[in-house]
Copies of this chain bind each other. A is one copy, B any other.
């Protein structure tokens, strides 16, 4: 195992281990589902060393202790890197969730998910009343729901993270709110930066071309990049069935292509996939994790088992090696790590000391 890249003459880059801040696991709370394993494998292979699991499944969400227990069962032996769980708000579970705060990373208030959405401000207010201020509140609220959430955050003097922003109006409202001192952060799904309704007029979850341009214009306002459930939604809209892993492997190649096109810098990427996520979601350091990329290598996305909107397209830049806790966990797309290397980081507090498996190596970043 060598962190040194010895192949000749190509532009390489070493990034820190990255954070998948919003991994969508359709069968999350469904007993026996292997979706968690699939998503973790894909994430670990793609360069993510930490995965924040969205608490929203396709039909069932993590709205109580029982569902959370099912999710933990599904996660057994599937820790291909570190991860944590969160809980989902419903109109009635504000009080009950307070028993679970120490066991989860954050609270998600859904407005635009496949199921379980809010439609009343008053019910949201109940969560702001009782959810502890030291744990993030995340929401996918849009338009006037977004405004409601921002107002409540402002009234309660607390931070809130808006996930998967897709429209010009919303990014502008967030920009204005930030300018006025509101404690709001946000992410944009990587798919939303590279796909629009111009590509798939049927997919209203995608930004319009004009919305997409506004997202790029407000890059300074975008704290994180995410995978989220947008790729799944696109696969449902286009192919009729959703793919749980779509969008994960493409995440970095898409961003690297934007670097080649001078639309992004590598620093833009690490800031939004490591530094800001760590700060916003209070995540642990992972100094022994890294991603080695070949920025010169053009790759062609192949449609193998799964359809991809980028199939047949050429992207510039690929992940060559992923290092997790000092060990190569993935090499040229082949996952080496098994499902025991990662840790469940759902409980708050510092990361448990790692079980030493190999001689320590120098930090890579």
- Is A173's CB within 8 Å of the partner chain B? yes
Q: Assess the B152–A147 pair: CB atoms within 8 A.
A: yes
Closest chain B residue to A151, Cβ basis = B151
Cα distance A180–B151 in the bound complex, in angstroms:
11
A125 at the interface (CB under 8 A from B): yes
Chain B residue at minimal CB-CB distance from A122: B169
Max chain B CB contacts within 10 Å: which of A147, A152, A172? A147
A239 at the interface (CB under 8 A from B): no
| A99 contact set on B, CB distance < 8 A | none
A176 within 8 A of B: yes
8 Å CB contact of A145 from B125, B144, B172: B144
Interface size class of A (residues with CB under 8 A): 20 to 34
Q: How far is the CA of A173 from the CA of B146 in the complex (A)?
A: 16
A144 near B155 with CB under 8 A, answer no
Is residue A263 contacting chain B, with contact meaning CB distance below 8 A? Answer: no
Residue of B nearest to A173 (CB): B121
A33 part of interface (Cβ distance < 8 Å): no
Number of copies: 2
A150 CB-CB contact with B under 8 Å:
yes
A137-163 near B? 1/0 per residue, CB < 8 Å: 000000111111011101100000000
Bound together, the chains give a CA A154 to CA B125 distance in angstroms of 17
Nearest B-chain residue to A180, judged by Cβ: B155
Least CB distance, A141 to chain B, in whole angstroms: 9
Q: How far is the CB of A254 from chain B (nearest CB, A)?
A: 28
A64 nearest CB across to chain B (Å): 25
Distance in angstroms between the alpha carbons of A43 and B3 in the assembled complex: 84
A120 close to chain B: CB less than 8 A: yes
Q: How far, in Å, is A119 (CB) from chain B's closest CB? A: 8
Interface residue? A270 (CB, 8 A):
no
Known: A144-B144, A145-B144. A120 touches B151 (CB 8 A): no
**Interface membership of A12, Cβ < 8 A:** no
Task: Report if A197 contacts B (CB, 8 A).
Answer: no
C-alpha spacing A306/B154, complex, angstroms: 47
CB pair A148–B144 under 8 Å, yes or no, is: yes
> A117: shortest Cβ distance to chain B, in Å?
12
Query: Is A177 part of the binding interface, using a Cβ–Cβ cutoff of 8 Å?
Result: yes
Give the 8 A-B residue pairs with the shortest CB-CB distance, closest first.
A147-B148, A122-B169, A151-B151, A144-B144, A144-B148, A147-B151, A155-B180, A121-B144
B155 A125 Cβ-Cβ under 8 A: no
In the complex, what distance in Å separates the CA atom of A173 from the CA atom of B147? 13
- Residues of A119-138 at the interface with B, using a CB-CB cut-off of 8 Å, are 120-122, 125
A–B complex contacts, Cβ < 8 Å, 18 sampled: A120-B143, A120-B169, A121-B169, A122-B143, A122-B168, A125-B172, A144-B147, A144-B148, A147-B147, A147-B148, A147-B151, A148-B148, A148-B151, A150-B151, A151-B151, A155-B176, A155-B177, A155-B182
Q: A147: which B residues are within 8 A, CB to CB?
A: 121, 144, 147-148, 151-152
Chain B: minimal CB distance from A214 (Å) = 11
Most buried by B among A145, A151, A168: A151
By a CB distance below 8 angstroms, the chain B residues around A145 are 144
Task: Determine the distance from Cα of A172 to Cα of B120 in the docked complex, in whole angstroms.
Answer: 13
A173-B125 in contact (CB<8A): yes
Interface residues of A in 41-65 (CB under 8 A from B): none
